Structure 1
Amino acid sequence: MSIRTYIFALLTSLVLMIAVILSYQSASIFVGSFDKMTQRMMTGIAKQYPEQGKVEQDILGYHVTTDWQLVPQQVRDQFSQESIENNILYSKFVGWVFIAPPEKAYVLMAFERDGKKIFISLFNENVREHVAKKHQDKGIILDPMQEIILVGTSGLIIFVLVLLAIFKKITVPVESLQAWGKGLTINDINKPRPDFRFKELNAVASLMHDNLVSVAESIEREQTFLSYASHELRTPIAVIRSNAALLEKVNPNPSDNERKIRDRIQRASLTMKSITETLLWLSREGDTDMPIETSCLGDLVQSTQNELIYLLSGKLVTVNIDTDETQVDIAVVPSLIVLNNLIRNAFQHTQQGRVDIVQRGNEVIITNIEECYEEGVEGANETQANKPSDNNELGFGLGMQLVEKLTKQFGWRYTTTKLDYGYSVSVFFS
C-alpha cells in the first residue's frame, strides 16, 4: 500500500466517523428538542385546562380531560392507564424508519392539579399525508433526518474532493521526484536538478544527487586505480615470466628442490597474469569495443588448460579434453578471461574425480564430477566448481562475477547446470 492510499483511507475514515457521530448527535438533539417542546406545551395547557366545570376540552389540537375513559380510544389502545406516571411524556411512533416521517404518532402526559388527574393527549394516524399536504407547494419534501444525513454526506464529499486536490498538489511532485530518482544515472549528474516545488522534496533530491556524485567519484577513482595497477603490474609480471623461461634454457635439468621453486614461480606468474587481466577488465566498465579476431577456439581452450594444469598437482583428477579446429570470430582477450576463470574454478574445486572439457564449434562445455570413497561406502560431495564461491584464493573470488559480466556484455550465452555430484557450465561464443 502506498503512503498516498494509506493517508487518504485514514483521513476519509476519520471524517466519515466524525460525520456519522455528528449526524447521530444532531438527530438525537432534534428528537429530544421535539419531545421537550411537546412536553412544555402540554404542561402549559395542563395548568389552565380543562376549565372549571368542564371534563374535557380540545386546545390547539391537544385533547385535555380529567376522565381516562374520555381519552381518545386510539391513544388508550397504545398506553395502559396503570403505567402512566405524572409529568412524564409518553410517545409512540408507528412505521418510523428514522429518515422518513412515521405513519402514526401518539403522545400522552398525565398531570395532578387541584387533586384531579388530568390527561393530555395528541395523535395523528396520517402523519405522512399531513406532511405531504403541508409541503405540497414546495416541491421536494425532505424530512429533518434526511436533511441531517444530506448535510453530513455533502460535508464528507466536499472533504474528499478537497483532500484529492491537496493530494494531487503534493503527490505530483513526489511522483516526479520518484521518476527522476529512478532514471538518475551517473551520466546525469552534471545536468541541472529539477525543482520539485517543496523544500523537503528538493532537499531529498539534493541528497540523492550528492550521493550519486559521491558514488561516481568513488567508481572513477576505483577504475583509475584498477587501470593503473593492472598496467603497472604487467611489466614486472612479464619480467618474472621471461626470466623463469630463461632459467629453463640456462639450466634445463635443475635439482628437485630447484624444480619445485621454479614451478611455484611459474604458477604464481600465471596467476598474477590472470589477475591483472581481470583487474583491467573491471576498470573498463561497459567497454565492449574490442577487436574481433578469427581464432581457433579449440587452441584457446587447449592453451588455457595447459596453463592451469598445475592446479591439479597432487589430486586424483582426470582431465578429458575434446576440441575441434573450428575457426570463430571472437574478442580473444575477453574469451580467454572467461575460459581461464571457468577452467580454473573447475580445477580448484575438484579434489577427486574428473573434469571434462568439450569444445564443439562456438560452444565450450566444462563439467566437473567429484567422486569420494570412504571405507567401502560410496558417497559424493557436491562441489562448488563453475559457480561463484566464497573461496577467494589468489584473488579469484571476483572471477565468476567477471565471467557473468563479460558474457552479458558480448551477448554470449552462459548457463550453469547443477549435477548430482558436480556442475556443468556452457558458454556459446556467438
Structure 2
Amino acid sequence: MSENYIAEYQLDRSTPIPKDEDFVFYVETEQMPQYLALYINNNASWVGFRSIELSNRDYLIGRTKLNADEFLTIVYHKTENSELSISINTYLNEAFEPILWAVLVTFILSIFMIVYMTLKFIRPLRELKDWTSQLNKSNKITNVPNFTFEELNGLANTLAESLNENLRLIEKDTFFIRAASHELRTPIAVSSVNIELMNMYSEIQHVSPKLTVPLLRIENAVKDMQQLSETLLWLDHDGGSSIESTQFDLRSTIHSIVADSRYLLKNKNVDVVINCENSNICCNFPSFKIVLGNIVRNAMQYTISGRIEIDLDERMALIKNVDRNETFVNAVNPDSTDNSDYGYGLGLILVEKICNKGHWKYSTSNIVGGREVKILFK
C-alpha cells in the first residue's frame, strides 16, 4: 500500500492517503496524535522500522521518504486480536510446525539410538561379569566366550591367562609344600629319636659339656623344623574346608607353649610374664598352638634384655615384647633380615595366613623398644 501510494504521489501530490483497518498513514506530524508527534519530532529524519511503547500501548512504526522534505509514516497498533497479529501467528505456526515435528522425531530417534547402543554394550558387559563370577582358583580356563567387542575379548583373554598362570603357581607351591612337609617328617622324627638316645648316652657316659652344647643346638633346630613342618601341613590340609573346633584349657596350653620355647632365652636377661585366666576356649587347637607358638618364639628370639608380657583370655591374645637394648627395637620388623636365625618373617606370614583361615583378626604394631601383637578370636 505504501509503495503504491508513493508511486502515485510522485505523479500527483493530491493523491489521497491510504486507509486500512490495521494501519494508519501520516504525511504531516500535525495529523498524528500528540504523543506520537512528539516522538517523531525528536528525530524527524530517521527511516526504517521501530517497535516502541507509547502511552502503555505497543506500536510498530515505519518511515520512508516521499521527497527531500516529506516522509510517509505508517503506524500499526499491535494487538493480539488484530488481523495482522493473527496472520503473523498463523504464518509462524505453519512455518515452524514441520520444524517442530522434525525436532521431535529427531529427539525420539536419538533417545532410541542411545538406549539401543547402551543396551547393546551393556549386554556383553553383563555377560563378562557373569562369566568372571563363575571363575574360581580350582579350575583352569580352557574356553573364553565371545563378548562381541574386541576390547572385551582382549580383557577376558588377559584375565584367563592371568588366572591360569596363578593357578599353575599355586599348584606348584602346593605340591612343593605338601611334598617337602611330608618328606621332612621322617628325617625330623629320626633326628629327634637319635637326639634323645644321645642325651641318654651322654648322661650315662658323663660326656664332656663341650659336646652337650652342640647337641642342644641340634635339638632346638629339630624342634624348629618340626613346628614349621606342622604349620605348612596344617595350612595345606583340606584347602578351604571347614575347621574343626575343640575346647581346651588356656592356661595349661600357653604355659606349655612358653616352656617349649624357653631355650631361646638361654643366656638372656628376659622376664616372661603370663596373665591368663583359668578358663577354656573353643577353637581349632592346632591353629591356636601354631599361631601362639610362632608369636611367642619370635618375641623370645628377638628380645635380648627386657620383658615379654602375654595376656590371654577366651576373646583375645596380646603379646608384647620390650627390649632395653635400642639396637633391637626394629629387629622384630617382618621386613628385617638381621638376627633371623630361623626366618622370623616367614613365621609372621604363616601366622597371618592361619588367622585369615580361622577368621581371626590379627594386628601387629611397633611400640617403644619392641612390638605388640594382638589377635581377636571373637
Normalised by the length of structure 1, the TM-score is: 0.66
Aligned match for 1:395, one of 343, 349, 352: 343
Matched, 1:334 2:287: yes
Percent identity over the alignment?
A: 22
Distance verdict in 2 for CA 1:406–1:287, change over 3 Å: same
Q: 1:110-149 alignment to 2 at 5 Å?
A: 110-111=64-65, 113=67, 116-130=68-82, 134=86, 142=93
Indicate how the Cα distance of structure 1 residues 332 and 47 shifts in structure 2: closer, same or farther if over 3 A, else same.
same
Supply the distance in 1 between the matched residues of 2:190 and 2:82 (Cα, whole angstroms): 115
Letter aligned with residue 52 of structure 1: L
Aligned pairs for 1:183-332 within 5 A = 184-187=135-138, 189-190=140-141, 193-252=144-203, 254-255=207-208, 257-284=210-237, 286-288=239-241, 297-321=250-274, 331-332=284-285
The equivalent residue for 1:57 is 17
SS of the residue corresponding to residue 80 of structure 2 reads helix
Letter in 1 for 2:269: L
Determine the C-alpha separation between the residues in 2 that align with 1:359 and 1:185.
38
Deviation at 1:302, TM superposition (A): 3.0
- SS of the aligned residue for 1:127 comes to coil
5+ unaligned residues in a row in structure 1: which ranges?
1-40, 96-102, 375-380
Q: Check if 1:423 corresponds to 2:372.
A: yes
Q: CA 1:262/1:154 → structure 2, altered by over 3 Å: closer, same or farther?
A: same
The whole-number CA distance in structure 2 between the counterparts of 1:64 and 1:413 is: 97
Distance 1:146 1:310, change over 3 A: farther
CA contact (8 A) 1:84 1:110 kept: no
TM-superposed CA distance for 1:216, in Å, is 1.5
CA, structure 1 residues 130+334, in 2 after alignment: closer, same or farther (shift >3 Å)?
same
Alpha-carbon distance change, 190 to 248 in structure 1, aligned in 2, over 3 angstroms = same
Contact residue 49 and residue 57 of structure 1 kept, 8 A: no
Matched, 1:82 2:43: yes
Gaps of 5+ in 2: none
Question: Offset of 1:54 from its aligned partner?
Answer: 2.3
User: Which secondary structure does the structure 1 equivalent of 2:17 belong to?
Assistant: strand
Pairs aligned (count): 368
Check whether the contact 2:5–2:18 (CA below 8 A) recurs between aligned residues.
no
Residue 395 of structure 1: how far off its partner (Å): 2.8
Contact 1:57 1:65 in 2 (8 A): yes
Cα displacement string for residues 165-213 of structure 1 (whole angstroms, at most 9, x for unaligned residues): 3223323432442454355322565586554333332332232223222
User: Does 1:104 pair with 2:76?
Assistant: no
Tell me: CA distance 1:346–1:207, structure 2 relative to 1, closer, same or farther (3 Å): same
Contact kept, 8 Å, 1:223 with 1:283, in 2: the verdict is yes
Contact 1:112 1:118 in 2 (8 A): yes
Distance 1:59 1:132 in 2: 15
**2:136, 2:48 → 1: CA distance?**
79
Contact 1:286 1:409 in 2 (8 A): no
- For residue 318 of structure 1, report the CA deviation from its aligned partner: 0.5
Counterpart CA distance in 2 for 1:74 and 1:285 is 104
TM-score (norm 2): 0.73
User: Is the contact between residue 366 and residue 426 of structure 1 (CA under 8 Å) also seen in structure 2?
Assistant: yes
Determine helix, strand or coil for the equivalent of 1:306.
helix
Cα distance in structure 1, aligned partners of 2:77 and 2:262: 110
1:50 and 1:76 map into 2 onto residues whose CA distance is: 22
| Partner-residue secondary structure (3-state), 2:65 | strand
Deviations 1:347-398 (A, max 9, x none): 23434332234556x5673432526499xxxxxx97786xx73246333324
CA RMSD of aligned residues (A): 4.6
Q: Secondary structure at the match of 1:350?
A: coil
- Where 1:129 maps in the other structure, the secondary structure is coil
What's the CA shift for 1:247?
Answer: 2.8
